[in-house]
Amino acid sequence: MSRYVVLDLETTGVSYAEGDRIIQLAYTVIEEKKIVKTFNTLINSETTIPAFVQQLTQIQTEDLAKAPSFEEIVPELMEDLNNSCFVAHNVDFDLHFLNETLEDTGYTPYEGPVLDTVELSRIAFPSESGYRLSELAENLSLHHVVPHQADSDAYATAELFLKISEVFRKLPRPALKHLLGIEHMLKSSLRPLLEEWFEQAEDAAGELEVYRGIALRKINYEAAENENIEADFNEVFADFQTGETISKVMPGFIRRSGQEEMINFVHQIFTGSKIGLVEAGTGTGKTLAYLLPAAYYAAVYKEKVVISTETIQLQEQLLKKEVPLVEKLLPFPVKPALLKGRTHYVCLQKVENLLDLSFQESYERMVSKAQIVVWLTITGTGDVEELNLADASDRFLREVSSDIQSCAGPDCPWFSRCFYQRAKKAAKAADVVITNHAMLLSDIVHESQILPSYSSVIIDEAHHLEEAATRHFGTQLDYASMAQLLNDFTTRGQDNVLEPWLSLYTPEMWKRCKEKIQQAREEWNDLFLSIYSYADKGAGRGETGDVSKVIVRDESWNYVLEAAHRFHAVFTEAVDELKKIELEISSDTSTGPAYKNEQTALDRYIHEMDDLHRKFMDLITHQQEDNVYWMERALKGPKQSITIFSSPTEVSQLLADRFFQKKKRVILTSATLTVNQSFNFVIRQLGLEDFEVETKVVASPFNWSEQVALMIPNDIPLIQEAGEDAYIHSIAQAIYQTAEVTEGKMLVLFTSYDMLRKTYHLVSNLLDDSYMLIGQGIQSKSRTKLVKMFQQFDRTILFGTSSFWEGVDIPGEDLSVIVMARLPFSPPSDPVFKAKSDKLKQEGASPFIKLALPQAVLRFKQGFGRLIRRETDRGIVIVLDRRIDTARYGKQFVKSLPDMPVHRGSIYDLETEIDAWLHKPLKESVYDGDH
Ligand code: SF4
């Protein structure tokens, strides 16, 4: 095949049968790897173009009047298609629509070979974030001048096809061989091309190697020698203070006295072997402030420093952005390493097994396998997060990623090339290991078997540590995991290798076992139906309105226990039967290596069953006194869509004994650690009361009194007095009036989804069409998507609940006002909050003073921190909850904020203040430091 017609259609809709027609047809002809012809025409289909299609394509109905009819252009099209391969981006649509049109006009439909560039780009570029033509055009620098116009789309698709071909052409033979084994399941007629490329390809050379039939990128992991580094901290720090070096590597760098204070503080804590808590206000530049002394300490004192962040994204940002900067600032090299949880790394043994499977598998799995084959020739990390898999199901991910149960360790033939082992080895040799709280806590749970040994640690976003520990020291189990495992095992499905094998190999034993598994499946269903009845009595909606949480604690739980014991009995019998089969197979020497994959799959099933059974017992039949148990239920899903959770009520002692006690140097940092200028709350939460800790507050360099004003309307009723409905009416009116002044640009923070939803409906009735009102759980649940929408449009108002109180970063003019609908106290029904409160009550302490208030103040500070993200931002925070003024504790909220003007008055009066504040020019420089 050497001639390709890359075609794109614009149509009035998606269904020819329902009267939709082609309005533009364009194609690009490729011969010998070059574009040799382009063809483009509007088509007069004697139809009216719907408004949204006109908007999308910029083609108006009147544009078609002078265009040729489809019949007029067919001869040229058919001539070009003759002896060519048909290529399109989403070939099913274009080819189907074209063929229906051809047939209807009396021509023979095209039946030659086809190539789909969506499918092929998935395989060739397995790490792309999306496969829409516009996304690929942007990321691969294709010419795509006018998206949604057929000529531009066809040209961009042709370029895309050439890039895809380039990737395939460079693949080594073993990779192409694997693709040839998968090709029959693809939409694209790729075989002739693959065969041609295979003939021309080499086995593997240069950066690639072949091991056990799989082509991989060579990774020469050589630990750099640990040189003796002699550098004086004061000299390094003095160089930083002059700003000379950093200005060269970071143009526009601004000196901040707070950042320098923090560098010194971290250095002192490290050299003095202590625990330090540092609250670094927004804009301090805290990452650099801890990274610089940490890297210095690690390299000079030969002491590994672990840095833990809350999220994987922050981990990546540290490694890719901040560490390279620090490397440029220091007069010696730094050896960083990033270590994620084991399941983030692909297991090469599992991949080998998967590629050997000769079963008919689903289309998505086959494409995913092809993606992995190509990706292994590129990846240096083996981190599955680099992949955008066609089958992104948990099940498939489990089938390809490393896990402790199925890992053969040093006996694995892939051990020396294993990505997880290499990441661990790199972490062992590194000065600075970047990890996340989940990993850090897993390491604590597994008694230091995951991270390399370390005594010095920096915990960023430390206000999350207690919550992360509560989650991590607990367990969870959902209905679907067990149901799916039991189902998949006994169903003769496309992807099940075991059922047909066991039916043939040990028919009698398998029959018995299968019966038990089916009974267990029924008991599991019954168990979750009784859990559903229990949960149905339960609590209100969660933060997105589609989940409810119910605490497990009263006597009717005994009915659930009866069903649980029935499940337990039959499930244990099923696992025993399965283990007998495993024993029978492993002692049969005649099987040899022929059933290696099946045996591995059987092992994996048994491990998974044991693992789920242990969780089931921990959560249902063997509950502990000092844990809290609860369930979360999807309100709109099937009855069994329930997950059961457990957590220790208190993690402070666990953290003290199992973590802080064992570390010599610890920095805990965040922008929000103090309540009422005191670290006491966080010290108590983290179990640091018996340790000697040093604390520091580094003030934000922003000029708050110039950049933010706090507004407190005094004509909003108190909810306790007026009732919820009146309160909601009142805040809806206030939000509307404020929006009229600010022209949107508002983030409204709620503490309950019900209130968000009710307020949303009222405000949407008040606003005219020029505003865009976006609600969490209304347009979307995804925070990223909602923030993107918020930034995309003018005059926008975004309503969010708890996950919006922090972590949302909207710098600049897009966000001018934050409205807090209520002070952010935790809902009293929250299971963990409730369990902690009950415990405090039993100890004779006030749950409000010791828990609810400090938690709310910290969250209030986080919500406030969303507004000003850089020195040129200016805005207003409006607190609609008058308890901030009327309640005795209200002062603590105001006192926890930096100094700024506070305006009180009726909403009507405040409108003028808001207008004046937002239009007041900002002073030129608001930094306290030199530039
Ligand atoms: S060592 Fe374990 S995780 Fe690594 S490839 Fe082998 S089985 Fe997989």
The secondary structure of 196-239, three-state, reads HHHHHCCCCCCCEEEECCEEEECCCCCCCCCCCCCCCHHHHHHH
Are 507 and 442 in the same domain?
no
Check if the beta carbon of residue 678 is closer than 8 Å to that of residue 658: no
Q: Under a CB-based contact definition with an 8 Å cutoff, are residues 283 and 702 in contact?
A: yes
Asked if residue 222 has pLDDT above 70, the reply is no
Residues 6 or more apart whose CB falls under 8 angstroms from that of 313 comprise none
348-356 and 363-375 are packed helices; what angle lies between their axes, rounded to 10 degrees? Answer: 130
Residue 35, exposed/middle/buried by CB under 10 A (0-12, 13-18, 19+)?
middle
Does the pLDDT of residue 545 top 60, yes or no? no
Q: Decide if 156 contacts 164 (C-beta within 8 A).
A: no
Segment 67-73 shows an average pLDDT of 94
In the beta sheet, which residues pair with residue 383?
345
User: Does a structural domain hold residue 546?
Assistant: no
The least confident of 425-434, 575-584, 673-682 is 575-584
* Rounded alpha-carbon distances, angstroms, from residue 641 to 349, 529, 547, 781: 33, 10, 10, 18
Same domain, 469 and 605: no
Looking at the fold, whether 454 and 523 belong to one and the same domain comes out as no
Please check whether residue 296 lies inside any domain of the structure. Answer: no
In three-state secondary structure terms, 27 is strand
Nearest-atom index, ligand 1, CA of 350: 8
Cα–Cα distance measured from residue 149 to residue 182, given in angstroms and rounded to the nearest whole number: 34
Report the distance separating Cα 170 and Cα 553, nearest Å.
62
Cα 453 to middle of ligand 1, angstroms: 22
- Please say whether the beta carbons of 593 and 522 come within 8 A: no
- Within a domain: 814: yes
List Cβ neighbours of 553 (8 Å cut-off, separation of 6 or more).
Answer: 629
- Whether 347 lines ligand 1, by a CB cut-off of 6 Å, is yes
Query: What angle, 0 to 180 degrees and rounded to 10, lies between the N-to-C axes of helices 91-104 and 117-124?
Result: 160
b/e per residue 546-580 (b: at least 16 CB within 10 A): ebbbbbbeeeebeebeebbebbbebbebbbebbee
Distance CA 386, CA 384 (A): 5
pLDDT (tens digit per residue) in 846-857: 999 999 999 999
- pLDDT over 70 at 924, yes or no: no
Other Cβ atoms less than 10 A from the Cβ of 356: the count is 11
DSSP 375-402: HTTT-SS-BGGG---S---HHHHHHHB-
Question: Which three-class secondary structure state does DSSP give residue 845?
Answer: coil
Instruction: Please name which of 185, 124, 127 lies closest in space to residue 360, comparing C-alpha atoms.
Output: 185
Q: Which residue, of 395, 429, 463, is where some domain finishes? A: 429
Classify residue 331: in a domain, yes or no.
Answer: no
Looking at the fold, whether 121 and 247 belong to one and the same domain comes out as no
Looking at the fold, whether 274 and 346 belong to one and the same domain comes out as: no
Q: Which of 596, 604, 600, 522 is nearest to 563 (CA)?
A: 522
- Specify the CATH number for the domain of residue 79: 3.30.420.10
How many whole angstroms separate alpha carbon 438 and alpha carbon 178?
Answer: 36
Residue 491 and residue 400 share a domain: no
Among 114, 139, 169, residue at a domain's last position = 169
Point out the ligand 1 atom lying closest to the alpha carbon of residue 345.
3
Reference 917, options 701, 706, 738; nearest CA is 706
Which tokens is 245 given?
Answer: 């070096």
Same structural domain for residues 137 and 185? no
Of 455, 450, 451, 228, the residue nearest 333 (C-alpha): 228
Which atom in ligand 1 lies closest to the alpha carbon of residue 415?
1
Nearest residue (CA) to ligand 1, atom 7: 407
Report the amino acid identity of residue 159.
Answer: E
User: Is the CB of 418 inside a 6 Å radius of any atom of ligand 1?
Assistant: yes
- Does 596 score more than 70 pLDDT? no
Amino acid at 107: Y
pLDDT tens track for 786-810: 888 888 788 899 999 878 888 777 7
Cα–Cα dist 745/857, whole Å: 25
Does residue 133 share a domain with residue 249?
no
Q: Are residues 369 and 234 in the same domain?
A: yes
| 247 plus 374 within the same structural domain | no
Q: How confident is the model at residue 546 (pLDDT cuts 50, 70, 90)?
A: low
Q: Which has more confidence, 293 or 510?
A: 293
Q: Does residue 356 share a domain with residue 212?
A: yes
Q: Over 70: is that where the pLDDT of 544 sits?
A: no
**Binding site listing for ATP:** 280-287
Q: Is residue 292 part of a domain?
A: no
- In angstroms, the CA 183 to CA 122 distance is 14
> Higher pLDDT residue, 433 or 786?
433
641 pLDDT band, cuts 50/70/90, is: confident
State the total domains in the chain.
Answer: 5
Nearest residue to 881 via CA among 870, 871, 869, 889: 889
- Tell me which H or E stretch contains 756: helix 753-766
Q: Does any domain span residue 631?
A: no
- The backbone region for 12, taken as left when phi is positive above 0, alpha when psi lies in -120 to 50, beta otherwise, is alpha
CB-ligand 1 contact for 412 (6 Å cutoff): yes
- For position 187, what pLDDT does the model report? 94
Backbone φ, ψ for residue 837 (5° rounding) = -60, -45
Binding positions: 280-287
415 lines ligand 1 (CB under 6 A): yes
Per-residue pLDDT of 372-408, as tens digits, reads 999 999 999 999 989 999 998 877 888 899 988 778 8
* CA–CA separation, 526 and 522 (whole Å): 6
Centroid of ligand 1 to alpha carbon of 304 (angstroms)? 26
Structural domain span for residue 722? 704-919
Task: Name the residue type at position 804.
Answer: F
Residue 640 lies in a domain: no
Identify which of 402, 417, 600 to mutate to test ligand 1's pocket (most ligand atoms within 8 A of the CB): 402
Q: Which of 189-203, 351-365, 527-541 has the lowest mean pLDDT?
A: 527-541
Instruction: Mark which of 169, 199, 222 sits at the end of a domain.
Output: 169
Whether 214 and 256 share a structural domain: no
In a domain, 644, yes or no: no
Interval 126-152: pLDDT, tens: 999 889 998 899 999 998 888 889 999
- Give the residue, by CA position, lying nearest to ligand 1 atom 2: 407
CA of 315 to the centre of ligand 1 (A): 24
Q: For the domain that residue 788 is a member of, what is the CATH number?
A: 3.40.50.300
Q: Could you tell me the pLDDT band of residue 928, with boundaries at 50, 70 and 90? A: very low
Q: Which two structure tokens, joined as six digits, stand for 898?
A: 């930096």
Atom of ligand 1 nearest to the CA of 418: 4
Burial class of 59 by CB neighbour count within 10 A (0 to 12, 13 to 18, 19+) = buried
- Of all residues in the chain, the percent with pLDDT exceeding 70 is 94
Query: 408 CB less than 6 Å from ligand 1?
Result: yes
Give the ligand 1 atom nearest the CA of 412.
Answer: 6
Residue type, 323: V
Alpha helices in 825-905 (DSSP H): 831-842, 847, 853-864, 883-886, 890-895
